[in-house]
């Protein structure tokens, strides 16, 4: 794959010299010229594809879930004994999390070839009472470890990448201060952001209110650490964002032996005295990663199957498959994975959809929206302005460069049907912009992705898997 990518790399005038020219599969499938752009639906689907039969779908495998991997790593440190984590994701985010776990003194073994990690937890105790951690750009490591250490006993210096230093931490840090943690910022101007030092003294009270409007990770972090309180612990919530991730957190806590109850829509209760147990745990395939391939079903008129992805998944992004059904796709949960079949007439209408439950896929839907026959409006996504990039702004900026009309509000974006022109896609060091906007290049000529290696954050061989998929069509 290194040779394949190298052959597609070119010098760019952006700050990144590495680029990836996306092969226009649509041109090859239907035999139209390289500058056809968004073909009319009548002509585009005049011929059947090579993969038209459901019994012979485009089939791919994706790595383990980032969200589940990083939760499992934290839960394993809190357990008493050695946990074995299988199908572990190895990416920038998970490697930073692992290094932090090791820097805190936890014993680990790592087998990347077989995707197995073991972690020996100490029943809620942190082996080292003083340490310096660097979380990189990993939001889960940043929020989860900060909460865990903030209610432990010790002194911990926390730092992060420039990107993570710009992302909000104030709601979580304010909660930790209320719970008795001292927080010393490296500079007066960094209040509410990395870097900082935690001087923790356990829990000084047994209830807290957290604002999750910018990130549900604040609530997940507090819930996971809540069983360390010597008293029953209650978390009240302001905001509704990301509840699918909260349900994943609660389910995984239960799998490791701790139950937290949702006593009201905005209230969570953890009974004192519960402890996590060490277990042998298999991590689900990453549904977020799978969605880029599932989006090819309507985009390229192909049946697509991602191995071992099922509707029983804990991951909220499985909702994207239900969105594809609204685009006219048939979606079948088979023993070997979910199969997405393209719309019967080879075209799809735009929709209006609240993507608050699967907001990581807003970029994915935005990427295939120009090829719909009517406008697409994505709502409920105001919080994605505060993620790895301002994702609403990034969507609008990059599609506008391609000549696609877009309109944005604070929490939504509308994308009109269009003919994407050749463009160098700035990815803003955001893995989801790189992966999501590569879909446009599969159907329109001349799409080049800047800094494709930013995918290493969660799916380091994405473009290799994409190339393999392309060559199998």
| Residue 459 CB coordination number (10 Å) | 24
pLDDT above 80: residue 204: yes
Average pLDDT over residues 114-135: 98
pLDDT > 80? residue 115: yes
Q: Which residue segments constitute the domains of the chain, with CATH numbers given? A: 2-56+351-472 (3.65.10.10), 66-282 (3.65.10.10)
Instruction: State pLDDT tens for residues 230-277.
Output: 999 999 999 988 899 999 999 999 999 999 999 999 999 999 999 999
Single out the residue of 2, 447, 78 nearest to residue 278, CA to CA.
78
Active site residue 111: no
**Residue 34 pLDDT > 50:** no
Residue 435 falls in which region: left (phi positive, over 0), alpha (psi -120 to 50) or beta: alpha
The contacts found for 403-411 with CB under 8 angstroms, 24 or more apart, are 404/370, 410/382, 410/385, 411/379, 411/380, 411/381, 411/382
**Phi then psi for 105, rounded to 5 degrees?**
95, 5
Residue-level pLDDT at 15 = 54
The pLDDT score that the predictor gives to residue 33 is 40
Q: Which of 93, 317, 360, 429 is labelled catalytic?
A: 360
pLDDT digit string, tens, across residues 55-107: 799 999 999 999 999 999 999 999 999 999 999 999 999 999 999 999 999 99
* Kind plus residue range of the DSSP H or E element containing 386: none
pLDDT digits (tens, 9 = 90+) for 283-337: 999 999 999 999 999 999 999 999 999 999 999 999 999 999 999 999 999 999 9
Q: How far apart are CA 235 and CA 86, in angstroms?
A: 31
Tokens for 433? 């912009």
With cut-offs at 50, 70 and 90, classify the pLDDT of residue 32: low
């Amino acid at each position: 794959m290194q040779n394949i990518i190298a052959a597609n790399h070119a010098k760019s005038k952006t700050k990144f010299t590495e680029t990836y020219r996306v092969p226009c599969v649509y041109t090859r499938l239907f035999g139209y010229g390289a500058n056809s752009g968004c073909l009319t639906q009548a002509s585009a689907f005049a011929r059947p594809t090579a993969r038209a039969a459901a019994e012979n779908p485009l089939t791919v495998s994706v790595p383990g879930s980032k969200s589940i991997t990083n939760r499992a790593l934290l839960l394993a440190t809190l357990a008493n004994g050695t946990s074995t984590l299988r199908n572990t994701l190895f990416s920038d985010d998970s490697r930073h999390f692992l290094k932090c776990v090791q820097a805190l003194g936890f014993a680990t073994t790592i087998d990347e070839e077989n995707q197995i990690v073991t972690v020996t937890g100490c029943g809620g105790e942190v082996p080292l009472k003083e340490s310096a951690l660097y979380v990189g750009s990993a939001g889960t490591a940043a929020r989860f470890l900060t909460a865990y250490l903030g209610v432990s006993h010790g002194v911990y210096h926390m730092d992060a990448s420039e990107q993570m230093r710009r992302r909000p931490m104030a709601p979580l840090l304010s909660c930790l201060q209320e719970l008795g943690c001292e927080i010393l910022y490296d500079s007066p101007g960094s209040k509410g952001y990395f870097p900082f030092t935690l001087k923790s003294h356990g829990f000084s009270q047994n209830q807290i209110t957290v604002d999750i409007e910018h990130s549900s990770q604040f609530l997940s972090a507090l819930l996971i650490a809540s069983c360390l309180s010597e008293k029953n612990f209650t978390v009240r919530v302001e905001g509704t964002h990301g509840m699918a991730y909260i349900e994943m957190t609660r389910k995984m806590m239960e799998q490791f032996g701790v139950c937290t109850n949702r006593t009201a829509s905005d209230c969570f209760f953890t009974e004192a005295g519960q402890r996590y147990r060490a277990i042998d745990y298999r991590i689900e395939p990453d549904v977020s990663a799978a969605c880029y391939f599932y989006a090819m079903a309507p985009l390229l008129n192909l049946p697509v199957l991602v191995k071992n992805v099922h509707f029983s998944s804990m991951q909220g992004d499985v909702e994207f498959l239900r969105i594809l059904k609204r685009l006219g796709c048939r979606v079948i949960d088979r023993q070997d994975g979910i199969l997405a079949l393209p719309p019967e007439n080879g075209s799809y209408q735009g929709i209006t959809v609240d993507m608050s439950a699967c907001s990581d896929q807003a970029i994915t839907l935005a990427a295939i929206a120009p090829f719909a026959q009517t406008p697409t409006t994505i709502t409920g996504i105001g919080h994605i302005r505060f993620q790895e990039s301002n994702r609403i702004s990034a969507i609008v900026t990059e599609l506008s460069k391609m000549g696609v009309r877009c309109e944005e509000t604070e929490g939504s974006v509308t994308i009109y049907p269009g003919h994407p022109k050749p463009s160098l896609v700035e990815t803003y060091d955001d893995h989801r912009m790189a992966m999501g906007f590569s879909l446009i290049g599969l159907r329109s000529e001349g799409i080049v992705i800047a800094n494709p290696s930013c995918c290493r954050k969660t799916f380091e061989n994405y473009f290799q898997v994409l190339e393999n998929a392309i060559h199998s069509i």
